[in-house]
């Protein structure tokens, strides 16, 4: 019988979407929209977080999903603080559970790192982490 793996992307949405970090409500999306909220004018209604599943590695009894989160805000300090807060929530826990998945471990890999963005009103920070899960 083939192994059935939990959906870690869905688990991230359940765990993070709509939560507040550094006083800002965040919205998770899987694809960056062609224009960001209120671009090119400053003033986001919320901080946008683009979820990218970069790669997966299946071991003998678990799978590691490698994520890149792109955090967009209209203020550099806000974007950085939101990235730091998300990192703390995701990676400093001993493991966490949502209706879609039980995350055994979350390992911080890099970031938050400032990434230049072509708009003068948008600031972006990237955060990388790995989530380890077992089959359902």
- The tens digit of pLDDT for each residue in 95-136 reads 899 999 999 999 999 999 999 888 777 889 999 999 999 998
- The tens digit of pLDDT for each residue in 28-37 reads 988 876 665 5
Q: Compute CA distances 71 → 68, 78, 83, 96, 118, whole Å.
A: 10, 10, 7, 22, 15
- Cα–Cα distance for residue pair 12/120, rounded to 1 Å: 29
pLDDT of 60 reads: 86
Q: What is the arithmetic mean of pLDDT over 13-21?
A: 93
pLDDT higher than threshold 50 for residue 59? yes
Q: Where are the domains of the chain?
A: 8-133
Query: What average pLDDT is seen over the chain?
Result: 87
The CATH number given to 8-133 is: 3.30.2000.10
> Between these two residues, 33 and 90, which has the higher pLDDT value?
90
């Amino acid at each position: 019988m083939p192994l059935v793996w939990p959906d870690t992307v869905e688990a991230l949405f359940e765990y993070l979407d709509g939560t507040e970090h550094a006083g800002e409500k965040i919205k998770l999306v899987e694809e960056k929209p062609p224009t960001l909220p209120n671009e090119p004018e400053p003033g986001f209604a919320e901080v946008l977080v683009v979820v990218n599943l970069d790669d997966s590695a299946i071991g003998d009894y678990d799978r590691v999903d490698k994520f890149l989160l792109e955090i967009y805000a209209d203020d550099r300090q806000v974007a950085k603080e939101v990235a730091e807060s998300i990192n703390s929530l995701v990676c400093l826990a001993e493991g966490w559970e949502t209706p879609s998945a039980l995350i055994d471990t979350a390992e911080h890999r890099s970031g938050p790192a400032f990434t230049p963005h072509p708009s003068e009103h948008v600031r972006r920070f990237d955060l990388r982490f790995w989530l380890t899960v077992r089959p359902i």
